[in-house]
Amino acid sequence: MKKAITAFLACLALGALSSCGGTKKVELTFLETMTSPERTAVLKEIIANYEKENPNVTVNLISPPYDQADNKLTMMLNNEQPLDVIEVRDYTVRQLVNNKKLENLEDRIASWEYGKDLLPIAMTCARTVDGVAYILPQFFYVKALFVRTDILAQNGITKMPETMDELIAVSIKITNRNKNQYGFGFRGKSNEFKISDLMILSDVANIDSENIYKTTDGNFSLADPQAVASFKRYVEMFQKSVPSDGINWGFNEQVNAFISGTTPFLIQDPDTVALVDAQLGRDKYTVIPLPKGKTGKTIVDYGYTSLSIPSYSKNKEEAWKFITFMTNPTNNAYLCKKYGPLPIHSSTFSEDKTFSTGVYQAWSTMMSQPDKYVFVKYPLGSEKWPGWAQLHEQYMQSVLLGKITVEEAVAKFTEYWK
């Protein structure tokens, strides 16, 4: 009896064991930062499937409100609170690496059975900091051109724009203010530079892919003479093909104008597909690769969210096993179908009908032709970066309203990045 009691107490003391000769019970704490009710529901579904396959593992999901999630993650990491799997955004990864909070995943990715199936851009993102893979991307955001084919047909337009100049010319051509028909779904607020600067800088031949605001000879890209000329053309497009209130449009206004047919051209990310599908239907629109600049190439930025393991986690092997389950081709494709962004595996774009046919072919084309579509980075690690969006919007609005010239705005931008 005494031995039985001793054995029982030992089992209690080793609470991590399901039985004295049994499997170790593991609790993983997973904090998401891209929180939304729809996406969290999908994560919980994938977690439930994982726990069913791995009955010895429990995954506790923490889902802070979206606008508080990054601060919550930073606070928990700084205090080394229990965390095993975390979502890291493109603009937070450098800070977390500098603070030594992320595990090096290079060896794990190299030995993963699906590691060689990752898209090249996936490994580029994984090695954002110091060329070392501290993260594994979950999905990407890459912009493409949404086109209302029915509106173009009504206006006698049968050829899709292949260049930025053609896009601007067609937008101006079909604009008829008396009929509330305009051309381009303008972005006036909320990171508007992510559209304007891509259009402008695609005309500059020697953009540094590591920093969109530099040329390969070390100069400020927006001050390049060709960029100044393209900036003026961008202003002309606003004046001649955009509703006057477009200067204040953010994401919702852009998409609403596209769905209503007010503006049949829209540059946006793939998560817009689900919204447009639900409210419009694919018989009325398509998606094509971004038009090329005068260089014959297009500057393309990309965003991503990734998974990582805190450097102090006590369950690193179990955490990695869960991450590989989350990001295997099947589950990754399922998450992207439900949530909208682009998956991380090459095989998904060739074998999954959702991504190998229809509107997603535009993104497949762009990611498979790096000689034509040049993926570039923003200077996220610069101390100037946090203030850039506000300053850019301020002077861009002044230019669009005719308060200052393009040259004056470029001078302000140049001074800021000194």
Res 81: pLDDT: 97
Coil, strand, or helix at residue 99?
A: coil
**Cβ proximity of 267 and 194 under 8 Å:** no
Which residue(s) pair with 145 in the sheet?
267, 288
Residue ranges per domain, the chain? 24-141+303-368, 144-302+373-417
Residue 296 to residue 376: CA distance in whole angstroms: 16
Query: CA-CA distances (angstroms) from residue 42 to 27, 138, 143, 293, 334?
Result: 20, 13, 24, 39, 9
Res 189: pLDDT: 94
**Cβ proximity of 165 and 135 under 8 Å:** no
Structure tokens at 12: 């209690």
Res 340: pLDDT: 85
- Weakly modelled stretches of the chain, pLDDT under 70: 1-23
Res 67: pLDDT: 86
**Cβ proximity of 373 and 367 under 8 Å:** yes
Residue 237 to residue 330: CA distance in whole angstroms: 43
Neighbours of 33 (CB within 10 A): 20
Query: CA-CA distances (angstroms) from residue 243 to 150, 200, 238, 240, 373?
Result: 20, 20, 8, 9, 30
- The architecture in CATH of the region 144-302+373-417 reads 3-Layer(aba) Sandwich (3.40)
- Closest by alpha carbon to 276, among 303, 256, 291? 256
CATH superfamily name and code, 24-141+303-368: Periplasmic binding protein-like II (3.40.190.10)
Long-range contacts of 330-337 (CB under 8 A, 24+ apart): 331/46, 331/49, 332/138, 332/139, 334/42, 334/46, 335/42, 335/43, 335/46, 335/138, 335/139, 336/139
Res 1: pLDDT: 47
**Which residue type is seen at 165?**
D
Res 21: pLDDT: 46
DSSP code per residue over 221-256: GGGSHHHHHHHHHHHHHHHHHS-GGGGG--HHHHHH
Q: Do domains 24-141+303-368 and 144-302+373-417 have the same CATH topology?
A: yes
Task: State the Cα torsion 50-54-57-59 to the nearest 10°.
Answer: 0
DSSP state of 90: T
Res 22: pLDDT: 55
DSSP state of 344: S
